[in-house]
Chain A
Amino acid sequence: MSTGVSTPVSARVLAAVQTILSLAYPLLIVWALAYFPPRRVAGVVLGLLALRGVLHVLRRRMARGTQGVRGARVPWSLALPVASVALVSAATAIANDPLGLLLAPVFVNAALLAAFAFSLRREPIVETLARLQVERLAPAEVRYCRRVTLVWCGFFVLNGGVGFVLAWTRSLEAWAFYTGFLSYVLMGLLFAGEYVYRHARFRRYEGGPADRLLSRVFPPRQTPERVGLDARGGDRARTVLLEVPTGLACWRGHFPGQPMLPGVVQVDWVLRELERWRGAPPQVLALEGLKFKQPVLPGEALVLRLEGEPASGSEAGGSPGESIDFRFVRGEEEVSRGRVRLGLGDAVAGRRSAVGEREGLAVGGQDGTPPWPAPAELLVHADPMVWLRGVEAHDERETRCLASVDDLGAFRDPEGGVGAHAALEWMAQAVAVHAGLERRARGEGPTLGLLLGSKHVRFARPAYTRGEQFRVVALRGWGGEQGASSFDCRVESLDGRVRVAEARLSCFVPGDEAPVPGLAAAHGGSGDGAVRGEVGQDGEDGEASLARSMRRGERRTPIPSGGAR
């Protein structure tokens, strides 16, 4: 009953009494039949039903009178059993046979069965209930809701059937035990079982009462829902139909309240699919032409297209120089793309680096300057997507962070290591930390930034092992006054001697009060996107933002480095 915020106490007491009377109906009936003739019991039931009807009409009148809105309408699925109970009660009263009274639970089940079964023609009742609780449902969840609705239909058939047999044979005690107790237990068991199964299946934890326990037993997912495969391309191409699970581990932290699929997870899915395709873990030498064009949201259906010329036969991990193009497509729209260059080798060592190194950036700490804030305070990311451990040094052009493989939570493989592509997210987060520190210097809190792409991400090694620690450096390159920026990034050993990854990242880094684009698109589902809004359109506040960036240019006071631990 949606009587609004201020439900009067009397109404609540009344509702409670109704519920108790309904639930205890079988026991009350059996008790009453032991003392009174069926006719009189049926009369009382009829009287109560009439009273309930009158009260309901009164309440609707009151609601209409005081609030000017229509009171809650009773759905026919609830009105029907009431009406049928009233009918059989009347029949009982006339025939003086308890059968009518005993059939009441059968009618309730029949009505519920009808309601659930008919809902399958449009939106299954279970789906309707689910949509009241969560913002979006994945296609797999929609299918699941339909199946659960069917299961309940089956339950109502069985439950009603047993009730009918017991009523027909007029075995009062068994009838009372089943309809007044056992069927409630069965209903509870079915509900609880479905609840647990649902969480095991979808791993979706959004504040339910048993989340902490269940998420320990059934941890959130890392991989997409694979719903179809077109392998006709043989060794050269394959197309995989995916659904982005709503129970993905990264949603909670990337970003809180605003889930978007991280680029590194998209690359991870590509590599997992490659491994499946090739039967061996891919040795990634480089990622090229990476573009993350549109935000990918929970529950969306994607098509992953892989094209390339994988080596056939024994050569595990790919042969040098071989590459695979990937595209994620949503409907007609490409959301991301790139190329995975496979091979055993070192894309970083032995070649002139495209990524600049600067001398003279002070790594402080000795002069008593306070340590830099933790990355978690500088990023909008939250656990488990805060992948940086600390800030080592920072000035307005460069930020150096510390990262450990051990901080990557469930993104790690069972041995505690991660693939090289984890470096992509490390570098992107170093850029975000840089932006966060710049904002902090202006007295602003962290805001959302986006990794848009990279022409080259080069790796020296295919994986990092547990316990390894790295320095992640982001060096500001070209930067537009409205947030489009280029950063030269690298991941290196703590002594700075071994570079394990490098990339020039294109990012959206919101500047002073810059509006964050793509948010509306992200919420709306498939708006014409984040990226286009950032760099593609003519801004209206050109003057203002130009003035701002000039103002920023004037503020050249060096920021002390500190807190290298």
Chain B
Amino acid sequence: MSQAVDRADKVHAAPRAFDRASILERVREILADSFEIEPETIQLESHLIDDLDLDSIDAIDLAVELEQETGLRLEEQELRRIRRVKDIVDLVCDRLVPA
């Protein structure tokens, strides 16, 4: 928990490091590690259910991993709206890097 918070602090300290590309890279790592998916198959447009074979139970783990990684606490509504890898990246971008 405290680790995640530390990381979130770092995020705000160095916003430049968190462009979409690096966030995608991180999301890709999380998905690959958590769900045993080949990293190459994870693209921005990949559909989590249809392409990556995730399901609603995986969504809970995804929320946990994202929270640990970024300190962001997703609401269930936000989680339900995630369809593609792109949606995760957008969500993290919106929440981490204030426009």
Interface residue ranges, A against B (CB under 8 Å): 289, 291, 293, 356, 452-453, 455, 477-478, 480-486, 504, 506, 531-532, 534-539, 542, 545-546
Contacts and interface: CB of A to CB of B under 8 A. Distances in A.
A481 B75 CA distance: 7
A120 B82 CA distance: 54
Interface string B52-74: 00011101110110010000011
B73 to A, nearest CB: 7
A536 B80 contact: yes
B34 interface: yes
Nearest to A505: B60
B81 A535 contact: no
10 contacts: A293-B57, A356-B1, A478-B74, A480-B76, A486-B61, A506-B57, A531-B55, A535-B59, A538-B77, A538-B81
B63 A486 contact: yes
B77 A535 contact: no
A531 B34 CA distance: 20
Interface SS of A by simple majority: mixed
Contacts, number: 74
A539 B79 CA distance: 11
A309 B82 CA distance: 37
Contacts of A291: 55, 57
Interface in B1-58: 1, 34, 36, 55-57
Nearest to A506: B60
Nearest to B79: A480
A484 B61 contact: no
Given A480-B60, A480-B76, 7 more contacts: A455-B61, A477-B67, A478-B64, A481-B77, A484-B60, A486-B63, A531-B57
Nearest to A530: B56
A546 B74 CA distance: 12
Given A486-B61, A486-B64, A506-B61, A481 B56 contact: no
Contacts of B76: 480-484, 535, 539, 545
A535 B48 CA distance: 14
B64 A480 contact: no
A478 B4 CA distance: 13
A477 B73 CA distance: 10
A311 B57 CA distance: 32
A481 B57 CA distance: 15
Contact of A486 (B56, B60, B77): B60
B76 to A, nearest CB: 3
A457 to B, nearest CB: 13
A291 B67 CA distance: 21
A546 B78 CA distance: 11
* Residue of B1, B34, B55 contacting most chain A CB atoms (<10 Å): B55
A478 B73 contact: yes
B64 A535 contact: no
Contacts of A506: 57, 60-61
Contact of A478 (B57, B67, B81): B67
Nearest to A537: B80
B68 to A, nearest CB: 9
B75 A480 contact: yes
